[in-house]
Chains A and B, each alone.
Chain A
């Protein structure tokens, strides 16, 4: 009884149920006439599927999820205590061995008598379990079919029932987004609370030393969890990125929205949007092999010591990544400013640039601020560029030519090593993640509220 056969059987059952419902529905129509029947025959078919195939599927799903656990615990109980390993890992190995014997695949070496007996028990339970489940599925399906067959009359409100089921399914799908947020908050809160039991929140939020040693250092190594150097690095890189992206992105948007001919627009816009589709790892590589060395040699030429992997490199490249983000959002916002406002200014004798600077931009300002905040939240949460190009050196510095580290880099570093998940060294990643989540959440909510207000203003 493998999943594939069951899937085929269930599909066949569904087809059968639909046919049965359809036939019965048609019979009803033939008897009572179109006008007197409530639902079209197809809805009776769909209802039959809901009553027969869906419960059978649920039974099987429950068996798949819980069946093996039940069998394994029963088998372990049947094994004499002196042979039963205490360790759950060894129990797992033993069960694997037993199921190899039970399935007839065989094991290397001679099987012990108690193993053969246990394998026999396993085979029996599996056989019994499968029989029970098959019988149960068949019964449920038959009952469903019978129910549908018996209760189908001209008055049966099959359509309403099917539509209610569709509605429930749609609501369940919408709930996934909510569940995701709840999952994010719960998992991060849970793990962060475990972390804060080991390290005090003041040390974490206001500490100036980031140096989480290996978990094997033991309890006395629980220091060096101060996130200020990381926060400083994050903010410095984001600031540099905005310094690059805001002027270029905004001017691009203004030129595209106000000056460019529609031909230029249709040529340049997709090219700039290509920048938006490029994976961040590619930007990281670009920063590492091209931008970093160039900056470093420029620094050498003018006598400034610029590291190849520095806050400047990462910030610059991150700025490039954000340009299309700002330009396309601002473009949308600028084109929403009513034409009458521009015409008014132009009629009073303003030049085009005066119109833009004194009329269009002030009108669009809230929207643009929203766009910039969204871009900032992107910059703060960006990972791959900084992992590759920021140099990973968590020290508190104000020099953009130095290597720094960020919150996101540290999350990656703390969770990708061979760390024990229960150690403070791993759990700190969740505390950092929670901080990051809250920061971006605040930025996003402010930005979304501003943008939405702005949209309503001109709609």
Chain B
């Protein structure tokens, strides 16, 4: 029985056994590589979020003055606000109103702030420049707006929260090296000393500030720069995307999936849509610049153009996602409808489409989330312009959330704007994560397994 064959098997067995250790080592190593890759990916997510959160969260709290401001009638010398009289042309009233506002513009609201500051630092009146460097420059406009809104406050004293200047905020938070020599500090020695004193006295507090949510962007008053304008711009663009991309996308998905004959034209459309989904977003920006701005003469920097460009960009996403939803609906549904005499349109509209609604909603949300974070195409249609007002219509100048982030990260006052930018990113990510979780929830809640 001891044939060479058996010996051969034994030899192979010995060989295999000898190699087993090595092979198992390789197996373990391969597995560790896999775990390593997953851990690297998780660590990257963690470090990205860690960076953004650690830089951004503290800047939601800003150095804020709590001051009693007396609206001294000696300083605020102004006539009553004009009202539209009977028989007056609107143009004339406009002129009178402008004149009144011009008069108001000459009022020295800074004097009110200095008077208020003098109560805490008596020397403030002597060097008003150093004193005014404490409070961000936009606050005297805030005082003016209060007077415009309610002229009866003249003569009264109000306790107001006023934002400290961005440099004061940087100084008090320790975001600048305190040992730097005077010529490399942004603030004068006097201002820094006062800031420390006021902070110790509790006049300047680190308070949660709503400025970032409520104000538009600002260059003169950096501490008060906010996201409101960008948010409105993004909101309008998302509205346009939802109003255009969803109906058009769903309709073309229905056509391609349910009605289109199989021929080279529909093949072409299909390849074309798949390709459009992978075209770099900046190319859509070039399209927007050439078609909407150069040819159609739509206004530059306006949410209407941004919305149209983002619509074209999201359309393939919506179409592809809707088609896969429609594909997942079993043919038996259609056949049952057709079997009892429904037409093809009836079968689709009455039976297939209602079943596809959860999927369509998910597709919409994914598309909107994608459009919300897109920056590059918006730069090319001029939305990177500095806009200090909140747009009222889609034809007004505006920025968008991601573009605002781009603009802020480039601001010269890095010490302040690194935090501000991170805060803006937190707002954007919060919006996107909310949208994405909504999509996941919808999918889980209404998903039907056929």
Report yes or no: B26 in contact with A163, Cβ–Cβ below 8 A.
no
**A140–B259 alpha-carbon span in the complex (Å):** 32
Tell me whether B280 and A282 are in contact (CB under 8 A): no
B275: which of A271, A381, A415, A445 is its contact (CB, 8 Å)? Answer: A445
| Alpha-carbon distance A349/B432, docked complex (angstroms) | 48
CB-CB under 8 A from B375, the residues of chain A are 279-281, 383-384
Scan A187-224; emit 1 where CB is below 8 A from any B CB, else 0: 11011000000000000000000000000000000000
The listed residue with most A CB atoms (<10 A of its CB), out of B260, B384, B409, is B409
- Most chain B Cβ neighbours within 10 Å, of A251, A275, A377: A251
Per the bound structure, the CA–CA distance linking A448 and B273 in Å amounts to 11
Contact of A170 among B38, B251, B290, B376 (CB under 8 A): B251
Partner of A177, one of B27, B40, B273, B382: B273
Within 8 A of A (CB), among B27-68: 27, 29-31, 33-38, 40-42, 44-45, 47-48, 51-52, 55
Given contacts A277-B436, A281-B375, A445-B271, contact A100 B91 (CB under 8 A): yes
Contact B48 A188 (CB under 8 A): no
B279: contacting residue among A184, A256, A274, A388, CB under 8 A: A184
B34 touches A251 (CB 8 A): yes
Considering only CB atoms, which chain B residue lies closest to A274 in the complex? B45
Decide if A104 touches B37 in the complex (CB within 8 Å).
no
- Min CB distance A182 to B, Å, is 10
Q: Does A351 contact B (CB under 8 A)?
A: yes
A270 pairs with B48, CB closer than 8 A = no
Q: Indicate if A402 sits at the interface (CB-CB under 8 A).
A: no
The interface-forming segment of A80-88, A105-113, A121-129, A336-344 is A105-113
Residues of B near A275 (CB, < 8 A) are 41, 44-45, 48
Which residues of A146-160 are within 8 A (CB) of B?
159
- Contact string against A for B residues 400-443, beta-carbon threshold 8 Å, 1 for contact and 0 otherwise: 00100110010000000010011001001100110010001000
Question: What separation, in Å, do the CA atoms of A349 and B345 have in the docked complex?
Answer: 56
A327 to B44, CA, bound (A): 14
Quick check: which of A2-10, A47-55, A302-310, A435-443 contacts chain B, the rest being far away? A435-443
Binds B, one of A13-21, A23-31, A71-79, A352-360: A352-360
B51 interface neighbour in A183, A289, A380, A415, Cβ under 8 Å? A289
User: Are A251 and B48 in contact (CB-based, < 8 A)?
Assistant: no
Are B345 and A163 interface neighbours, CB within 8 A? yes
A277 to B441, CA, bound (A): 16
Given contacts A105-B90, A275-B45, A433-B283, whether A282 and B428 have CB atoms under 8 Å apart is: yes
CB distance from B251 to the nearest CB of A (A): 4
Interface string of A311-349 (1 = CB under 8 A from B): 000000000100110010000000000000000000001
Say yes or no: A177-B290 contact (C-beta < 8 A), given A251-B37, A351-B26, A381-B279: no
Question: Across the interface, which residues of B come within 8 angstroms of A105, CB to CB?
Answer: 89-91
| Chain A 424-455 interface mask (CB, 8 Å, partner B; 1/0) | 00000110010011001100110110000000
Q: Are B278 and A378 interface neighbours, CB within 8 A? A: yes
Given A163-B343, A177-B276, answer yes or no on A351-B23 (Cβ-Cβ < 8 Å). yes
Q: Which of B38, B92, B281, B406 contacts A252 (CB 8 A)?
A: B38
Chain B residues whose CB sits within 8 angstroms of the CB of A260 once the complex forms = 38
Residues of the A chain whose Cβ atoms lie less than 8 Å from the Cβ of B269: 174, 177-178
Q: Cβ of B310 < 8 Å from any Cβ of A?
A: no
- Flag if B42 contacts A271 (CB, 8 Å): yes
The listed residue (B26, B274, B440) touching A353 by CB distance below 8 A is B26
Could you mark each residue 263-302 of chain B with 1 if its beta carbon is under 8 Å from any beta carbon of chain A, else 0?
A: 0000011011111101111111111011100110000000
Rounded to whole angstroms, the CA-CA distance of A433 and B377 in the bound complex is 12
Cβ of A424 to closest chain B Cβ, rounded Å: 16
Nearest residue (CB) in B for A174 is: B252
- Chain B, interface size category, equals 35 or more
Residues of A within 8 A of B249 (CB): 173
In the complex, which residues 270-288 of chain A have their Cβ closer than 8 Å to any Cβ of chain B? Answer: 270-272, 274-275, 277-286, 288
Contact with B along A411-422 (1 / 0, CB 8 A): 110011000010
A323 and B38 CA atoms in complex are apart in Å by 10
Q: Nearest Cβ in chain A — how far from B210, in angstroms?
A: 23
Q: Which residues of A contact B285 (CB under 8 A)?
A: 415
CB distance from B240 to the nearest CB of A (A): 14
Q: Quick one: closest A residue to B422, CB to CB?
A: A285
* Known contacts A248-B41, A280-B373, A437-B283, A177 near B319 by CB under 8 Å: yes
Asked if A114 is at the interface of the complex by the 8 Å CB criterion, the answer is no
- Closest residue on chain B to residue A445 by CB atoms: B275
| Residues of chain A within 8 A of B272, CB atoms compared | 177-178, 181
Asked whether A173 lies within 8 Å of B287 as measured between CB atoms, the reply is no
> Could you tell me the distance in whole angstroms from the C-beta of A296 to the nearest C-beta in chain B?
16
CB < 8 Å neighbour of A282 from B92, B275, B282, B405: B405
Q: Which residues of B contact A184 (CB under 8 A)?
A: 279, 283-284, 286-287
Q: Does B183 contact A (CB under 8 A)?
A: no
Closest Cβ of chain A: how far from B8's Cβ, in Å? 17
Residues of A near B344 (CB, < 8 A) are: 163
Interface residues of A in 350-390 (CB under 8 A from B): 351-354, 356-357, 374, 377-378, 380-384, 387-388
A440 to B277, CA, bound (A): 11
- Are B34 and A259 closer than 8 Å at their CB atoms? yes
A412 touches B376 (CB 8 A): yes
Question: Cβ of B289 and Cβ of A415 under 8 Å apart?
Answer: yes
A176 within 8 A of B: yes
**B107 in the interface (beta carbon within 8 A):** no
Chain A: minimal CB distance from B424 (Å): 10
In the bound complex, what is the Cα–Cα distance between A44 and B2 (angstroms)? 94
Quick check: is B117 within 8 A (CB to CB) of the other chain?
no
A180 at the B interface (CB under 8 A): yes
Q: B47: which A residues are within 8 A, CB to CB? A: 290
Can you identify 15 A-B contacts, CB atoms within 8 angstroms?
A104-B90, A167-B259, A174-B252, A180-B315, A255-B35, A255-B38, A271-B45, A279-B402, A285-B52, A285-B421, A351-B27, A352-B27, A440-B283, A444-B274, A447-B278
Question: A277-B432, A279-B428 given. 20 additional CB < 8 A pairs?
Answer: A104-B90, A163-B345, A174-B251, A177-B272, A180-B287, A251-B34, A254-B34, A255-B31, A260-B38, A284-B406, A289-B51, A289-B418, A320-B44, A378-B280, A381-B282, A383-B375, A383-B376, A415-B285, A415-B289, A416-B380
Name A residues whose Cβ lies closer than 8 Å to a Cβ of B.
Answer: 100, 104-108, 159, 163, 166-167, 169-171, 173-174, 176-178, 180-181, 183-184, 187-188, 190-191, 247-252, 254-256, 258-260, 268, 270-272, 274-275, 277-286, 288-290, 320, 323-324, 327, 349, 351-354, 356-357, 374, 377-378, 380-384, 387-388, 408, 411-412, 415-416, 421, 429-430, 433, 436-437, 440-441, 444-445, 447-448
B contact residues vs A (CB 8 Å cutoff)? 16, 23-24, 26-27, 29-31, 33-38, 40-42, 44-45, 47-48, 51-52, 55, 89-92, 95, 247-249, 251-252, 254-256, 259-260, 268-269, 271-276, 278-287, 289-291, 294-295, 312, 315-316, 319, 343-345, 349, 369, 372-376, 379-380, 382, 384, 402, 405-406, 409, 418, 421-422, 425, 428-429, 432-433, 436, 440
- The 4 A-B residue pairs with the shortest CB-CB distance, nearest first, are A381-B280, A279-B373, A255-B34, A106-B91
